[in-house]
Amino acid sequence: MARKDISGIYLITESLPDMMARVRTALENGVKIVQYRDKSEDQKQRLNQACELRAMCRDFEALFIVNNDPELALACRADGVHLGQSDGSVARARNLLGTGALIGVSTHCLKEAMEAQQQGADYIGFGCLFPSASKQDTVATSLQELSRVRAAVTLPIVAIGGIHLDNAALAICAGADAVAVISAVMQADDCADAVRALHRQVQEGRSTSL
């Protein structure tokens, strides 16, 4: 799978007792990108969970990305890795994972987005667009800045930060190719309904932006 596959709903996992069941439900309802995000120090658990999620994504022909950890991405044979601004260089991750890996970079402004493209990233995450309960150490940005980034870079853009049913369409309309969600799916009362509703919002955003 390639850059062009970075679109739609980009699900980021949350460490919950029913994490695997929720991810499977999301995949069953059409999610095609899953990022494994776990900040624990239990390396064995992280590898086991990453391998299980990778196998699950293969079953549904979905991309599997590991957050922040190129070594873990290599060990579990993920499709790629997503790097924060302080998580090491694109070049190092590319050297470790190979030319076929997808490497994403978190960005918060036009300057960072253009630098990520110049460094060889395959896509960028852009945010935090809206207030987020899932991540506290965020840098706020705006839909207006997202539109500026869209006009300046050719990479796929994943909007992130407080994305939910009331604003997903806005992010797509402003130029995002995909919307990253955590609590909107991982903490939804009905995971399947939440994913289906988000799909409708993505389609609405695409129709509005045409």
User: Could you read off the pLDDT of 132-144 as tens digits, one per residue?
Assistant: 766 555 678 899 9
Residue 1 has pLDDT above 70, yes or no: no
Q: Which residues are catalytic?
A: 37, 106, 135
Task: Spell 1-33 as b/e; 16+ CB within 10 A means b.
Answer: eeeebbbbbbbbbbeeeebeebbbbbbebebbb
- Indicate the pTM of the whole model: 0.95
Quote the pLDDT of residue 136.
57
For residue 126, give the 3-state DSSP assignment. strand
Rg of the Cα atoms in the chain? 16
Q: Which domains does the chain have, with CATH numbers?
A: 3-209 (3.20.20.70)
For 26-74, how does the pLDDT look when each residue is reduced to its tens digit (9 = 90+)? Answer: 999 999 999 999 988 889 999 999 999 999 999 999 999 999 999 999 9
For 175-184, how does the pLDDT look when each residue is reduced to its tens digit (9 = 90+)? Answer: 999 999 999 9
CA distance 195 to 22: 10
Query: What number is the average pLDDT over the span 8-24?
Result: 97
Query: What number is the average pLDDT over the span 89-118?
Result: 96
Residue 84's nearest CA partner among 54, 112, 111 is 112
Quote the pLDDT of residue 40.
84
Quote the pLDDT of residue 194.
98
Above pLDDT 90, what percent of the chain?
Answer: 87
Q: Helices 110-118 and 143-152: crossing angle, nearest 10°?
A: 30
Paired with 124 in beta bridges are 105, 157
Quote the pLDDT of residue 171.
97
